[in-house]
């Protein structure tokens, strides 16, 4: 089980308050999407969850455990970024297994876990290829494989598809939905693309200038937007 809970999270950068006071409940196994315009604080909230930023105030809980002071590696989460920085000199298998190697996991176990992750992501035929020999979509799958192999309870995605072309984005959306079903893990996904949010989410969190405007299922946001901002953002074509 992996519930994520934010209690009165505040984040300042210097004298600028980016997130004034966010409280939010992310259900176990949900696919929750943070959506909102550029600069509204989506990445900041994700980085706070990952422990890559410290909150100015408030607390974050994972499964009733206060993780606010925990280091990123202790939190049982894995993050996939927009710019998937793969190691160019390592092949796909080595890239996927790298974190396990660093953690001194035995070789046979690494091999088994890498093969399992590759299977889930349909990367098995590509395990010996170098990143330069892969397409953008394949590279992004490797980046996701590096997260999967650690078997996190919570996956964080920061606009993972925004560097891909439209056709590939559509395909990867389908794959991400399948992945979520198969793994059953809690996923928190950041995007500024309302179509992506509407198709992937079972819970959408609409952010505007660091404030949570509305939380709900896609259909509820669409049918009953509670603010003009939500109505405009969800209703407007891309």
Binding site for ligand ADP (CB under 6 A): 13, 18, 36, 38-44
Closest-CB residue for Mg ion? 43
Helix intervals (H) in 9-126? 42-50, 92-102, 107-120
Which of 208/226 has CB closer to Mg ion? 208
Strand order across the 65-66 sheet = 16-26, 4-13, 57-62, 65-66
- With CB cut-offs between 5 and 8 Å by kind, which of Mg ion, ligand ADP, none does residue 38 bind? ligand ADP
User: From CA 45, how far away is CA 66, in angstroms rounded?
Assistant: 16
Q: Please, which residues bridge with residue 66 across strands? A: 61
For the CB of residue 169, give the shortest distance to ligand ADP in the complex, in Å. 18
For the CB of residue 204, give the shortest distance to ligand ADP in the complex, in Å. 14
Q: Decide if residue 191 touches Mg ion (CB under 5 A).
A: no
For the CB of residue 186, give the shortest distance to ligand ADP in the complex, in Å. 20
- With CB cut-offs between 5 and 8 Å by kind, which of Mg ion, ligand ADP, none does residue 40 bind? ligand ADP
How far is CA 194 from each of CA 2, 164, 226, 237, rounded to the nearest angstrom? 25, 16, 16, 8
Q: Please, which residues bridge with residue 214 across strands? A: 206
How far is CA 193 from each of CA 10, 144, 169, 211, rounded to the nearest angstrom? 25, 20, 11, 18
Which of 47/141 has CB closer to ligand ADP? 47
Which of 44/138 has CB closer to ligand ADP? 44
Please say whether the beta carbons of 165 and 133 come within 8 A: no
Which of 121/197 has CB closer to ligand ADP? 197
Judged by DSSP in three states, 189 sits in strand
User: From CA 208, how far away is CA 212, in angstroms rounded?
Assistant: 7
Binding test (CB under 5 A) with Mg ion, winner from 4, 34, 41, 43: 43
Which of 146/192 has CB closer to ligand ADP? 192
For the CB of residue 64, give the shortest distance to Mg ion in the complex, in Å. 28
What does the binding site for Mg ion look like in residue numbers (CB under 5 A)?
A: 43
């Amino acid at each position: 089980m992996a519930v994520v809970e934010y209690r009165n999270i505040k984040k300042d950068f210097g004298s600028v308050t980016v997130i004034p006071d966010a409280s939010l409940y992310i259900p176990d196994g949900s696919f929750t999407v943070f959506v909102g315009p550029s600069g509204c604080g989506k990445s900041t909230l994700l980085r706070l969850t990952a422990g890559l930023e410290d909150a100015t105030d408030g607390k974050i809980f994972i499964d009733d455990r206060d993780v606010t002071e925990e280091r990123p590696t202790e939190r049982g989460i894995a993050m996939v970024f927009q710019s998937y920085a793969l190691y160019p000199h390592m092949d796909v298998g080595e890239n996927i297994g790298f974190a396990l190697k660093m953690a001194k996991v035995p070789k046979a176990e690494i091999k088994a876990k890498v093969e399992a992750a590759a299977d889930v992501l349909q990367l098995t035929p590509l395990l010996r290829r170098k990143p330069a020999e892969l397409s953008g979509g394949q590279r992004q799958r490797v980046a996701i494989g590096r997260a999967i192999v650690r078997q996190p309870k919570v996956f964080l995605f920061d606009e993972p598809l925004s560097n891909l072309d439209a056709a590939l984005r559509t395909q990867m959306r389908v794959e991400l939905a399948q992945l979520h079903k198969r793994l059953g893990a809690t996923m928190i996904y950041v995007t500024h693309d309302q179509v992506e949010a509407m198709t992937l989410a079972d819970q959408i969190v609409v952010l505007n200038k660091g404030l949570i405007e509305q939380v709900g299922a896609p259909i509820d946001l669409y049918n009953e937007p509670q603010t003009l901002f939500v109505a405009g953002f969800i209703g407007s074509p891309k």
